[in-house]
Amino acid sequence: MGFPLHEILARLMEEVGELVRAVNHIYGPKQKKSEEEKRELSDELGDIIFIVICLANSLSIDLNESFRGVMKKCYSGDGNRYE
């Protein structure tokens, strides 16, 4: 058995927080502290994707199927929003 669900969700929130902090340092008013390491947005997004995959696996969710459903919804009922 993998990690408990609440631990995966806590890790996901931590990673999302790191992405928010990185975006705020790059595009927002908050300056990075001199002792903070530079974080790449691509690395932070990769961390989030990894944790989401772990979460889906722990719940036996097929992400390919889920993603296809989301894309179908995006391009059928609300097709003009995402061009």
Going along the chain from its start, the domains and CATH numbers come out as 5-76 (1.10.287.1080)
Q: What is the dihedral of CA 58, 49, 9, 37, to 10 degrees?
A: 140
Q: How would you write the pLDDT of the chain (83 residues) with one tens digit per residue?
A: 578 999 999 999 999 999 999 999 889 887 777 777 778 899 999 999 999 999 999 999 999 999 999 988 888 876 566 56
CB neighbour list of residue 29: distance below 8 Å, 6 or more residues apart: none
Give the integer Cα–Cα distance in Å for 65 and 36. Answer: 39
Identity at 42, one-letter amino acid code: S
Number of H helices, E strands in the chain: 3, 0
Say how many residues make up the chain.
83
